[in-house]
Amino acid sequence: MALVQFATKVNFSPITMAYRNFSSKTVNSAYKNIKKSVFLSQSTNVYTNLALEDWLYRNFDFNNHHVLMLWRNDPCVVIGKHQNPWIETNTSELAHITESGVQVARRNCGGTAIYHDEGNLNMTFFTSANKCNHGHNMEVVTRALFRNYGISVKSMSSNTLSIRNLKVCGSAGKVGSINGYHHCAMFVNVDKVDRTHSLQQTNSGIRSTAPKSEQSKILNLCEENPKISITGLLRAVGWEYLRTPVNSLKDGGKDLANKQNGFQMINPTEQWFPGITELRNKFSDWEWCYGNTPKFTVTKSFSVPNEFLNGVNGDLHVTMAVEHGRISDVSLHIPSGLSSTGFSGTANVITSLKHQKFSEDAINALQLSLCGNECGFLDDKDKFITECVRQIMTSV
């Protein structure tokens, strides 16, 4: 993305950054003293951009300096802080959907799951906590679309924009005791096929209290106006933001825009943002992306081949309980005649699977449980059982 074409009015470096002073600094928070900046992230890595967003939220002083951060991501699905990735994404296929795969990331705020690629423009509006205004931000985006492209959008809800009931923008936000932000994701030229495959949901048999997304039909803005592009929209939204007063929607025009801090290229590295590496490691860690998932259970039934049942009908029922992304309990209801040991009824294999990640890695532990430590192989019946468990791991 050719962001370098934008002029930078203010040199941005670690030295000139505005850190919060919690002790002695008295901040004049009058609206007339607030300056605006548009930060353009030079990274397309979702974990780096989420870390930058979180770093600014934690460390920056927004009392007299509001910021619009514009950024793009390589293919990924970003889920809400309390959502279940095994419900929201097609986890078993993500690695194969694009050439480099589709990453799963968990944001540090609520909202629903959304697919990102480089056809998606992300916008994060940062203010102090008492000045967060989602409606104001949405109006800035709406005006930018109409002023530059003649595109009219309307609000489907407080957090979405649409054209003919097709979603073109979704949003979520976070407000703390000091700072807040409002994140918007605009569909410009998103790959709809990859999006569908990434968010494809099947009857996975999961029971969970985690908030679940309702996927809407989307419209790429380029379908409405072929002249629109990520680079053009980035410029349009940025300038609309700079020309709009903080406390009203009156158009301040170029005069107001020229009084702001302009567009600033941002390099999200440790040198610029001390501590961002630790945040990035957190956002990319399995424990954050998957381990923070609320407790859920998976139950599935499998028809048992007649040759394993000696004429007795029955299904194999498997129930797994998963906490913090790890298996906490497993029970197998095994029909008479299926197990090579002659066992039938409910078998608990928690000893071998407890604390295993909910993934195919747990299959080896199950195999050992079924055949015993002294057994070097499984017979056809036990292979069938382990394959059923494997299907649970790979189908959610």
Same domain, 342 and 312: yes
Q: What is the C-alpha to C-alpha distance for residues 193 and 190, in angstroms, rounded to an integer?
A: 9
Same domain, 88 and 50: yes
pLDDT for the residue numbered 29: 44
Using the 8-state DSSP alphabet, how is residue 313 labeled? -
Same domain, 253 and 309: no
Q: Calculate the average pLDDT of the chain.
A: 85
Same domain, 302 and 278: no
List own/partner pairs for 336-341 with CB under 8 A and 24 or more apart: 336/309, 336/310, 336/312, 337/308, 337/309, 337/310, 337/312, 338/304, 338/308, 338/309, 338/314, 338/381, 338/384, 338/385, 339/370, 339/381, 339/382, 339/385, 340/379, 340/381, 340/382
Q: How many percent of the chain have pLDDT more than 70?
A: 80
- Cβ contacts of 138 within 8 Å, gap of 6 or more: 155, 161, 169, 171, 184
The CB density around residue 100, as the number of other CB atoms within 10 Å, is: 9
Q: What is the C-alpha to C-alpha distance for residues 282 and 289, in angstroms, rounded to an integer?
A: 9
Give the tens place of pLDDT for each residue, 9-51. Answer: 333 333 234 434 433 343 334 577 899 999 999 999 999 999 9
Decide which of 247, 270, 289 is a domain's last residue: 289
Same domain, 94 and 226: yes
Give the tens place of pLDDT for each residue, 331-351. Answer: 877 776 666 655 555 555 556
Same domain, 244 and 135: yes
| Angle at alpha carbon of residue 216, lines to 165 and 321, rounded to 5° | 160
Decide which of 266, 289, 312 is a domain's last residue: 289
Q: What is the C-alpha to C-alpha distance for residues 368 and 353, in angstroms, rounded to an integer?
A: 10
Q: Using an 8 Å Cβ cutoff, are 172 and 121 in contact?
A: no
The yes-or-no verdict on residue 273 having pLDDT over 90 is yes
Same domain, 118 and 197: yes
Residue 256's domain is classified under what CATH number? 3.30.930.10
DSSP-derived 3-state class of residue 47: helix
The yes-or-no verdict on residue 376 having pLDDT over 70 is no
| Residue 303 lies in domain | 296-394
Same domain, 308 and 249: no
Beta-ladder partners of 65: 35
Q: Domains in the chain: how many in total?
A: 2
pLDDT for the residue numbered 310: 65
Same domain, 264 and 331: no
Q: Using an 8 Å Cβ cutoff, are 164 and 220 in contact?
A: no
Mean pLDDT along residues 260-277:
96
Give the tens place of pLDDT for each residue, 69-127. Answer: 999 999 999 999 999 999 999 988 999 999 999 999 999 999 999 999 999 999 999 99
- One-letter amino acid of 214: E
Same domain, 242 and 338: no
What is the DSSP code string of 228-246?
A: --HHHHHHHHHHHHHHS-T
Decide which of 253, 274, 289 is a domain's last residue: 289
Residue 183: pLDDT band (50, 70, 90) is very high
Rounded to two decimals, what is the model's pTM?
0.86
Q: Using an 8 Å Cβ cutoff, are 72 and 1 in contact?
A: yes
Same domain, 300 and 282: no
Residue 309's domain is classified under what CATH number? 3.30.390.50
The more confident residue out of 208 and 366 is: 208
Question: At 285, phi and psi to the nearest 5?
Answer: -75, 140
Residue 129: pLDDT band (50, 70, 90) is very high
Task: Give the position of tokens 């048992």.
Answer: 304
Q: Using an 8 Å Cβ cutoff, are 266 and 282 in contact?
A: no
Same domain, 262 and 312: no
Tokens of 291: 């381990």
The yes-or-no verdict on residue 57 having pLDDT over 90 is yes
